[in-house]
Structure 1
Amino acid sequence: MPYFVYLIVSKDINKKKFSYVGYTGNLKKRIDLHNSGKGAKFTRGKKWKLVYYEKYDSKSEAMKNEHVLKKDYKLRQKIKKNK
């Protein structure tokens, strides 16, 4: 089963943009959960846009790379600028 590491950004036009990094086995379902208010607590109350994802063959590899992306603020900023 493939796993995905993803980066989403808030779609609020007039407010500060927030980003969120996560991993999942079903990318479409997870993004839909975030946008329906049933995702992670941080993402509730906002609409989100998928700006980046990577596919991995194992859950452990996805979790490891999720951690890297969560901790590397400069990399997240670079990805957001390119999207």
Structure 2
Amino acid sequence: MAAFVGYVYVLGSEHRGLRRTYVGWTTDLEQRLARHNAGTGAKSTRGRVWFLLYAERFTSRHDAMSREWRLKRDKAFRKALVGG
């Protein structure tokens, strides 16, 4: 059995009626969400409260990063997650 490597995740946020999503990958999902909400995550996530919308587990870094790349471009999937 292959060892667990990491997660690909989609975060959601709503601010002044505007819904946004953020896609990333990490080895520690809880810690990464906490960093985004503390303002020490990605620059584009600062100043918002984020919540987890979706996550997938991967056993290879390559597969996780490949899936992250695809999800970043799948605007229809992300829009469906935030109810838009």
TM-score under structure 1 length normalisation: 0.89
SS for the counterpart of 1:55 is: strand
List structure 1 segments (4+ residues) > 4 angstroms apart after TM superposition: none
Match of 2:7 among 4, 13, 20: 4
SS for the counterpart of 1:4 is: strand
**Structure 2 counterpart of 1:21:** 23
In terms of mean alpha carbon deviation, does 35-44 or 69-78 score higher?
Answer: 69-78
Query: Residues of 2 paired with 1:78 and 1:59: CA distance?
Result: 26
**Structure 1 counterpart of 2:79:** 77
Determine if contact 2:13/2:51 at 8 Å carries over to the other structure.
yes
Q: Percent identity?
A: 38
Match of 1:44 among 32, 43, 46: 46
Query: Residues of 2 paired with 1:78 and 1:43: CA distance?
Result: 20
Q: CA deviation at 1:11?
A: 3.9
Determine if contact 2:10/2:24 at 8 Å carries over to the other structure.
yes
C-alpha RMSD of matched pairs (Å): 1.2
**Structure 1 counterpart of 2:63:** 61
Determine if contact 2:36/2:45 at 8 Å carries over to the other structure.
yes
Query: Residues of 2 paired with 1:72 and 1:57: CA distance?
Result: 22
